[in-house]
Structure 1
């Protein structure tokens, strides 16, 4: 019973969403300090609308921002038209947009206040990185025509992840898609994106990386102008395609990437071909190949017919028969000449064998002759120079004999007979 009473008391004192919004609206819009206030800041984004001009002011460090609106005809009364990157001094009053629960500054007038610090820093960073060659076209790498694995660096909760998956699946079924999750908004985003790219490189399976994020304000996309992210993209070993938001202006990440698209969906369309287009191209190539083959067959058929007619005119059959008889006669002559040469050569070989047998020292020894050698194994051809007691080796037809010189006899030449004179 007591719990029901307390619950009813809470309901009686509780405010509705509309009630608390009205209360906040009354506090802000009736505060004398906020009904007419000058605000100084840098224009971080600006867009023209039929109802008026919408832009965002932020401080020089980018730590605070406020939405501003200039309604209707008041736009023409502005001394300075707010442009992105410029610093302005605006006069207006605070109001509450109840449908979103947001407060905004209704601007009546805008005055110039010099170049924005953030825009100046952005330009200085861009010039420095450009001087290093990080945006040069020579650094850009071509994408593989038929990648098998693609890595996506984005937030798993972002709509961009779903758009990329859907597009890749529709265009190129069977593709392996890897997610390297990253924070893509806020102060932690740059380090998170750099780490996500490094993970893909270490994994080494992907042939292409898509760095994607859906639409957002300039403040939301500030991480893609961070120097750490730009360098990670420029020095990646894997080609990177960016699909960042719907802003017209290019981010520094876009300039460093190998290819840049305006949306995550467009980035997915860049990295893979359309399967239906590939099928059509293949069918066209098949038709072209068939046409070329048919043309070649027709040309060769005509050429064959021409040669056939020429052969008939030349009476090739008779020529072949005559050439055959001529070849047969030449073959017989060649065989006869070859046989004669072989017989002559055979006879010559037999004659040479007989001469060799006659000259063979062993044959001489078999006839009763002997070969005498001294101790130096030199053949002794004369008794001169031999000494008594010297050992000699005599080679016979069969076997060898060692002898000792007992006496060296002089060679007695026979005297010639003198004829009688008459």
Structure 2
């Protein structure tokens, strides 16, 4: 009896498969920590399906795995398509597959993990900076052909610094080399490189900058893919040549530089010409100049010879003779006209001399007239201007006489004229 009751009690409290499945599903899908979770692992299998994509992630040791599903159009939104053997980082939520009682990860996004993630970040940064135009050819500036001062941004302990110095001195002796020291590896490297470039710009002596570092691992060269370094290179007021790593290496700094060399030594070779090459170029220019001058002299000599032949054909003697006769006639005509003008001018001068002589006061005085002046030097024109006892100066034809007025005589000429007019009226 008691056994029968216990069995009934157990049946009343037991859960069905459907019930416990619903319970577990509710626990998984309503847990806030599991509705949006990042999971990384290696893709052990992948099966495309008409409804989406099914794949399995497993741990690196291969002992644990989880089924994943990407539904519908979300497959096209994945940054990294899961492929067998690749490391991926997925974002999704945990759900329960009721038919088999298995939990699975419903995936919204998949990214490359490990080296793949670094490559993705590199590509995203490269695309963004390229969209801004920082790598455009139009931004690249030509390097000075004969720089007098070159700045080098690198570590003073690096082998690259010694290689650059040696190459510059061998190729272009006398060039001034300035070191702007920088850390070129590690977390502090980006800020250190940016500061070193800024020091060179503030100093303003250098005409070109070499940013150099020897080879190394991807991690060692990571600072040259830093956005801060790339922008400092792109916006530098001085042209920058990079010589980073080995020939197989390419960084974002290389893309932003005005010129990217494969090695520090190659960068040094790019910024200065080789002295021997300059000497050869100079000699070639001298030879070219001599050839040009010789050709010009030959052309001018040919031109002079041509002109000589033309002069001979013009019978220059006859031409000179005709011009001589013409000049002789013009000379005679000029003398004749000049004589006529001179004679006419002479006659006019004589006439003017006669007129001047007749108007000259001295000539009047020579005929017996005199000029009477008062003490003030004024000419006396009427007896009414005179006073008894006044001294006068009389200027004669020859000499002067000073006199004193004793008496002013009455002028009888006006009375005579009045008498004649009266007698005429009486008649």
TM-score, length of structure 1 as denominator length:
0.56
Specify whether residues 213 and 321 from structure 1 end up closer, same or farther in structure 2 by C-alpha distance, changes over 3 A only.
Answer: same
Structure-2 residue corresponding to 1:49: none
After TM superposition, list the pairs within 5 Å mapping 1:410-421 onto structure 2: none
Structure-2 residue corresponding to 1:211: 211
Q: Does 2:273 align with 1:281? A: no
In structure 1, list runs of 5 or more residues that go unmatched: 1-39, 43-77, 81-87, 93-108, 361-365, 369-412
Structure 1 CA distance, aligned partners of 2:276 and 2:130? 40
Q: CA offsets per residue over residues 362-394 of structure 1, 9 Å max, x none?
A: xxxx999xxxxxxxxxxxxxxxxxxxxxxxxxx
Structure 1 CA distance, aligned partners of 2:203 and 2:228? 21
| Candidates 115, 119, 127, aligned match of 2:112 | 115
Specify whether residues 219 and 337 from structure 1 end up closer, same or farther in structure 2 by C-alpha distance, changes over 3 A only.
Answer: same
Structure-1 residue corresponding to 2:406: none
Q: Does 2:155 align with 1:158? A: no
Structure-1 residue corresponding to 2:333: 333
Structure-1 residue corresponding to 2:389: none
1:315 is displaced (CA, Å) by: 3.0
After TM superposition, list the pairs within 5 Å mapping 1:263-278 onto structure 2: 263-278=263-278
Q: Tell whether the 8 Å contact from 1:140 to 1:257 is kept in structure 2 after alignment.
A: yes
Q: Tell whether the 8 Å contact from 2:247 to 2:263 is kept in structure 1 after alignment.
A: no
1:248 is displaced (CA, Å) by: 3.0
Specify whether residues 323 and 123 from structure 1 end up closer, same or farther in structure 2 by C-alpha distance, changes over 3 A only.
Answer: same
1:241 is displaced (CA, Å) by: 0.8
Structure-1 residue corresponding to 2:184: 184
1:336 is displaced (CA, Å) by: 4.0
Specify whether residues 351 and 177 from structure 1 end up closer, same or farther in structure 2 by C-alpha distance, changes over 3 A only.
Answer: farther
Structure 2 CA distance, aligned partners of 1:290 and 1:178? 40
User: Which of the pair has more CA radius of gyration?
Assistant: 2
1:185 is displaced (CA, Å) by: 0.8
Q: Tell whether the 8 Å contact from 1:41 to 1:89 is kept in structure 2 after alignment.
A: yes
Specify whether residues 157 and 326 from structure 1 end up closer, same or farther in structure 2 by C-alpha distance, changes over 3 A only.
Answer: same
Specify whether residues 338 and 172 from structure 1 end up closer, same or farther in structure 2 by C-alpha distance, changes over 3 A only.
Answer: farther
Specify whether residues 140 and 352 from structure 1 end up closer, same or farther in structure 2 by C-alpha distance, changes over 3 A only.
Answer: farther
1:265 is displaced (CA, Å) by: 1.4
C-alpha RMSD over aligned residues: 4.3
Other structure's SS at 2:156 match: coil
> After TM superposition, which residue ranges in structure 1, 4 or more long, deviate above 4 angstroms?
88-92, 345-360, 413-419
Structure 2 CA distance, aligned partners of 1:272 and 1:327? 71
In structure 2, list runs of 5 or more residues that go unmatched: 1-39, 47-57, 63-83, 89-110, 361-368, 372-416
Structure 2 CA distance, aligned partners of 1:176 and 1:89? 58
* Structure ranking higher in helix proportion: 2
